Structure 1
Amino acid sequence: MTILDIVKYPSPVLEENCEVVTVFDKRLHRLLSNMYNTMLEADGVGLAAPQIGIAKRIAIVDIDDKHGKIEMINPEILDAQGEQVGPEGCLSFPGLYGEVKRANTVKIKAQNRKGKWYELEASGFLARAIQHEIDHLNGVLFTSKVTRYFEENELEAEG
């Protein structure tokens, strides 16, 4: 089990538009496993490749629900509906939290670790996490969407 270093803002890789993944091999499988272990170790619900210094379109989400671990390679949002406003944080911005408006439901298309395309519909918190990670792959940081910042203790009081 390898735990990778999480890149912190203002590292330039966090604001890059990431490259499409074209090779689906054992290196990619190992990277996905290491990203997942890193995310769990950091107590996160998502991790994108730029957050470990790799400008590739790879992200993982696991909000500890029935969907389990979702590996997204070259993901695209096909449809977004509704609206939700809620708290977000980011492993690349330790201790920083803010309120962000996102779509309430999303339909995405992505590839799995073997390169097979799949579609997924998500709503609520899972949709929020997926949108946050896909933003990373486009060089968009949650801080550009925050309407109000707050302290960690305010987050705990709300939740």
Structure 2
Amino acid sequence: MAQVFTGLRGDGQGRDSDIDTVIRLLAYLWNDEVPQRQFQDCVDSLSGFPEFDESSDEEIIDPREIHSFYAALGLRYAALYRSSGDAEIALKCAHTCLTAMGQLDQNIPVTAFFAQEADCQQHVISSYPLGGADEIAQLRNADRVISRGRLAALQERLSN
């Protein structure tokens, strides 16, 4: 979700601070020694993102806005989980990611992002607890590759 967010919002829209928050959060998420209070700081920052502005009654219909929202929401849930340890929040994060990939599948012909996300989540659950730095590095690299593919597909869709 971090690559989707930075890919959609990192184009000079005055969101440099938001991009920095997402990149910092991503580094924190892959580090099990980061204190919970730092994740709460990220939750607070993410909550101030325009994607969560409730002052508008307008329905979000622009695909860039929709996918930016899902990405920010997934990141917010991930940070919230790490700040609290509440398993219900981890489930909300997983659900948000699945919903976002299902939405992407509906708008891009011949894709299976939802199934791919479900497989990734199942793999992580069945591998828990992770065996160490090498396994975490492999998981992070696989995640990076998958995210790049999702962003590329999304950017292609948006350019058409």
Tell me which interval the TM-score lies in, with the shorter structure as reference length: 0.3 to 0.5
Q: TM-score, normalised by structure 2?
A: 0.32
Q: TM-score, normalised by structure 1?
A: 0.33
Structure with greater proportional strand content: 1
Asked which structure has the greater CA Rg, the reply is 2
